[in-house]
Amino acid sequence: KAGVTQTPRYLIKTRGQQVTLSCSPISGHRSVSWYQQTPGQGLQFLFEYFSETQRNKGNFPGRFSGRQFSNSRSEMNVSTLELGDSALYLCASSARLAVNEQFFGPGTRLTVL
């Protein structure tokens, strides 16, 4: 089986812009979670989607949003980018909602200038 794929792998944006990141989970997996990884904060949970519905949400502002499609692929969007949004954004898929073992993708490195 192919692993979790994320596109693009690298992205450079300027403050105020918006960005959309994409994640394709492992075939058959229906749960997709998003995380932000920064050197100072480590991995922080953004949200989890299952069957096209957001099931869980972390403590991030409303500028961070996401969605999941019927084929389980997911996108996350960040609007009005800030310098502090520069991070590695990781997507993880699992077979079921809130199941213990998650499989991570390689991440999208976002740099905000």
Partner 1 sequence: GESVGLHLPTLSVQEGDNSIINCAYSNSASDYFIWYKQESGKGPQFIIDIRSNMDKRQGQRVTVLLNKTVKHLSLQIAATQPGDSAVYFCAELNTGNQFYFGTGTSLTVIP
Shortest distance (Å) from residue 110 CB to partner 1:
15
Shortest distance (Å) from residue 16 CB to partner 1:
29
Q: Which stretch binds partner 1 (CB under 8 A): 14-22, 39-47, 63-71, 79-87?
A: 39-47
Return the number of the residue (57 or 63) whose C-beta is nearest partner 1.
Answer: 57
The answer to whether the beta carbons of residues 10 and 87 sit under 8 Å apart is no
DSSP the chain: ----EEE-SEEEE-TT--EEEEEEPPTT--EEEEEEEETTTEEEEEEEEETTEEEEE-S--TTEEEEE-TTS-EEEEE-S--GGG-EEEEEEEESSTT-S--EE---EEEEE-
Shortest distance (Å) from residue 47 CB to partner 1:
10
Q: Which stretch binds partner 1 (CB under 8 A): 14-22, 66-74, 78-86, 94-102?
A: 94-102
According to CB under 8 A, which residues from 18 to 37 bind partner 1? 35
56 lies in the site for partner 1, by CB under 8 A? yes
Distance CA(109)–CA(34), nearest Å, equals: 13
Residues engaged in binding partner 1 (CB under 8 A): 4, 35, 39-45, 56, 58, 90, 92, 98, 100-107
